[in-house]
Structure 1
């Protein structure tokens, strides 16, 4: 299953064996062995391959049938707090609530950057 999934995703991503092998830092013949099942990659190589193929190691190992990674969560909370019209479990957050949340978040980040005392 591992080799089949490697080959299927590599082709779907329009990558050559050489491109994936170069990314992983192995010879093309070594990577070809992964796809054929003749060789077994290290855990580190599986992680690197999964990054290149934009999938999870769990998918490659047959632990899940979901090949696609979930959409990356990349939202700035500060921007959301400026939008307004937010709610907490259906209870609308008012301007004062959002200002309090903003100040609490700033405090958390400020405290995080302070050196720890012995």
Structure 2
């Protein structure tokens, strides 16, 4: 996902979220904030395509890297995606479901369900 790639590139450059926002804003005339970058990195919000273009240019990588396009197989690693969502839920950020704030106990129930799903499919995949 975009957020995972952004986090990896940012940390490889040893940049904090605020420093990245400042550098991008200065170079491209944008108004990104630390909280916007956090939401993207935690996969809580999807950026506009223009943002993807700017980030690819800033980090000097292909847009395809951010979009994680596997042109040959067009596959998704479900385990990675579920784990990424669990990690996002662990960040204690405000979580929305269909635009509505989730209560802490509902977030915990969702996280528990996702963890159970991950364990189940890990078990199933080991049988193959």
Name the TM-score, length of structure 2 as normaliser: 0.46
Which has the larger Rg? 1
> Which structure is higher in helix share?
2
TM-score in terms of structure 1 length: 0.49
Higher relative contact order (CA 8 A, sep 6+): 2
